[in-house]
Amino acid sequence: MTTHISLCFLFSYVTFLPLIFTTFAQSQNYIIHMNLSAMPKPLTNHHTWYQSTLSSALQNSQFTTTTNNLNSLISSKFIYTYTHVMNGFSANLSPKEHELLKTSPGYISSIPDLPVKLDTTYSPQFLGLNPNKGAWHDSNFGNDVIIGVIDTGVWPESDSFKDYGMTEVPSKWKGQCENSIHFNKSLCNKKLIGAKFFNRGLLAQNPNATLGLNSTRDTKGHGTHTSTTAAGSRVDKASFYGYANGTASGIASNSRVAMYKALWKNGASSSDVIAAIDAAISDGVDVLSLSLGLDDVPLYEEPVAIATFAAVEKGVVVATSAGNDGPVLKTLHNGTPWVITVAAGTTNRDFQGTLTLVNGNKIVGFSLYIGAFSSNNFPIVFMGLCDSVNDLKQVKSKIVVCEDKNGTSVYNQLYNLGVAQVFGAVLISNVTLTDILYKKFLASIIVNPINGEIIKDYIKSFNSKNSSSIASMSFKKTVFGTKQAPSVDSYSSRGPSKSCPYVLKPDITAPGTLILAAWPSNVLVSHLGTKEAFSSFNMISGTSMACPHVAGIAALLKGAHRDWSPAAIRSAIMTTSDIFDSTKEHIKDIDDNKDATPLALGAGHVNPNRALDPGLVYDVGVQDYVNLLCALNFTQQNITTITRSPFNDCSKPSLDLNYPSFIAFFNGGNSSKTLHEFHRTVTNVGEGKTIYTASITPIKGFSVSVIPNKLVFHEKNQKLSFKLRIEVERMAKLKEVAFGYLSWMDEKHVVRSPIVITTIKLKS
């Protein structure tokens, strides 16, 4: 009998063992997005709801029905509750458990929690760059492509400018590093191959202008940051005070950098910017990165437009920033038709602090506090709007909770909390704060209103008992893959361009929020009390940070396709971009959480690997740009200012530039049209014979058609033309901005162009 029992046990064990191993072998981590509004009313804690949801899925799975200790199993599978950037949780699930979870009430979506290799700038990884294939591999990381940067100077001692393993400087390079104050030309190397500065125009306007340092050396940090974002060498063990710890790398880490300092502490002169670009062209740069611009200036007076026309004519690709005046429409600068205008988006990397309540509840929010911090069982108090510095000083030794009621008071709260020198703070707000607004010196966490209510209820429960509520705080946590990304950030300027509204701008979106790159070691990054804080890397935000990403990608494409024109590279970047985020939904505008229109997003979010093989490109020649300038009713003098030629052929003026995007104005400005037609020519840069078929996203209120709807190519570099027609169906129901897409598709490629239809008036 005993033997029989043993044999039965052995049989059961042997039969069951493969099931256990198979289950765990197939299990993987998932990040699950949940609809918080679907949480049953009896539950007041979303963490409890998530656990209950997981429990139901496990109970219904074949394996878990044989498990006695369900609570223990839930504990082992439940990984993390997300409370700030998304509503949901992560768990380790078998395929069957995962499928069962999908049927749960409130389930929205899930994504695999793939292994993450820490990469400080992170943008290359977020953009899908891989050393073994794609744009990095095919261009050898942009090897020997020269990126010129017009900015605030450079910090040559940064490890991001090390030239270990780089080949000799290309013979085509005609530039040099110039000696200047605290900058010896010997500081340059095979990575940093040029350094010049330009301020004569500024000093001519204002002889007493404050320069910071009359030298190419960077005393602001901006130029060091942008240049290393575009082409910085790999640096191990980089971080910003423990945030984003890992390896830093520029987009085109084998490209060369030439710095042209034309931006100074007291401003910049257009003449200096033009001189800098002029020198860059003469020196032999392949790509220009300009994180600068002017607002409300006609093209013929705009230094970027004037100087970059010559650069593009010489084959130089120019990337420029869209500006940081969003989210209002028509705030974009650098609407220049011959450059790439770059908007700024977020990544799926987040920086967090945690507030732990004495009841064990952990509230996670956004934080970039850089100081050392030790908090254990400190009193926590709610102070409403925190609008009185005197009141805050009375509770400065506590963790102070503030609530933002109108979306703007949070900025004043940060100031008041800093003046009062509170021990720690929690700000309840829906406002999206970048590092531009967020004070890194303050030990604080920003939480959303849902979590804010949990904190307020917790404090109230203690107050009702006449006892002190207790909490602790911790910081410096970097989290990946925790949110809907990318999104267009609110500060990024929106189109249409005032200087040339007939060309849809911006062109493309790239990572611009909280980008980490090199920083001068003696330039402040923050304060900690009365102490100054310094770092060799810094995290900052803006379209200034997005621009060098695209400059780096242009360098990769230039390295892989030396014969492509600047317009072809721009087209490849635009038509292969992404319009869907990590949740497979259309990329959102973070300002209103609605689908981002091309006036904010451009053609989409840049995808460098797909840009390597776009299939078709929309190329543009110099005369095409001249035809556009003529159609803008510029005088010959105006046009000559840009083209540098006194003989500009205006026999065929046309606002219809051969651009990979479309914008039609209806019932706005001087236009009362009910029909718009666009003519385009595409070049087959793919291999051999192919047939492309057109697909158009319907746009409500309009009939959009393409003639012909099929393009048959017989050979590489063949050009074919088509016509796009937009006709109003119901004029009375037109939106201010409506949009869709034209996609040309063959068996391998999708060549997509945005279509914007707007009633925005051309003149305010």
What the block records as the tokens of 386 is: 């925190």
Nearby residues of 642 by Cβ (< 8 Å), 6 or more positions away: 299, 300, 305, 306, 309, 629
Bridge partner residues of 696 (DSSP): 742
Bridge partner residues of 277 (DSSP): none
What the block records as the tokens of 228 is: 């290393």
Rounded to 10 deg, the angle between the 303-313 and 270-283 helix axes is 10
Check the CA dihedral 349-436-589-227 and report its sign.
negative
Place of tokens 């003449």: 271
Distance (Å, whole) CA 259 – CA 257: 6
Name the DSSP class of 587.
P
Q: Which helix (H) or strand (E) holds 626?
A: helix 622-631
Q: Do the Cβ atoms of 383 and 412 come closer than 8 Å?
A: no
Please return the burial class of 647, using the count of CB atoms within 10 Å of its CB with bins 0-12, 13-18 and 19+: exposed
Dihedral through CA 493, CA 495, CA 498, CA 504, nearest 10?
140
Is 544 annotated as catalytic?
yes
Q: Which of 536, 544, 577, 753 is catalytic?
A: 544
Q: Which helix (H) or strand (E) holds 196?
A: strand 192-197
Q: Which of 33, 84, 98, 222 is catalytic?
A: 222
Q: Do the Cβ atoms of 757 and 664 come closer than 8 Å?
A: yes
Is 104 annotated as catalytic?
no
User: From start to end of 56-173, where are the E strands?
Assistant: 78-82, 88-93, 107-112, 146-151
Q: Which of 113, 144, 151, 283 is catalytic?
A: 151
Distance (Å, whole) CA 418 – CA 656: 54
Distance (Å, whole) CA 197 – CA 272: 9
Distance (Å, whole) CA 180 – CA 215: 5
Distance (Å, whole) CA 405 – CA 415: 16
Place of tokens 């509204």: 501
Amino acid at 660: P
What the block records as the tokens of 178 is: 């110039």
Name the DSSP class of 668.
B
Q: How do strand 719-728 and strand 470-480 relate by DSSP bridges?
A: unpaired
Distance (Å, whole) CA 248 – CA 517: 7
Q: Do the Cβ atoms of 317 and 286 come closer than 8 Å?
A: yes
Q: Do the Cβ atoms of 202 and 169 come closer than 8 Å?
A: no
Residue 748 to residues 94, 436, 535, 567, 657, Cα–Cα distance (Å): 34, 42, 46, 22, 27
What the block records as the tokens of 574 is: 């635009």
Q: Do the Cβ atoms of 436 and 542 come closer than 8 Å?
A: yes
**3-state SS track over 243-271:** EEEEEECCCCCCCEEEEEECCECCECCHH
Is 151 annotated as catalytic?
yes
Name the DSSP class of 83.
-
Reported residue count of the chain is: 764
Amino acid at 739: F
Rounded to 10 deg, the angle between the 222-231 and 543-560 helix axes is 30
Place of tokens 């389930």: 107
What the block records as the tokens of 712 is: 């048959």
- Helix, strand, coil share of the chain (percent; to 5): 25, 30, 45
Nearby residues of 449 by Cβ (< 8 Å), 6 or more positions away: 428, 429, 430
φ/ψ of residue 105, rounded to 5: -60, 130
Catalytic residues: 151, 222, 544
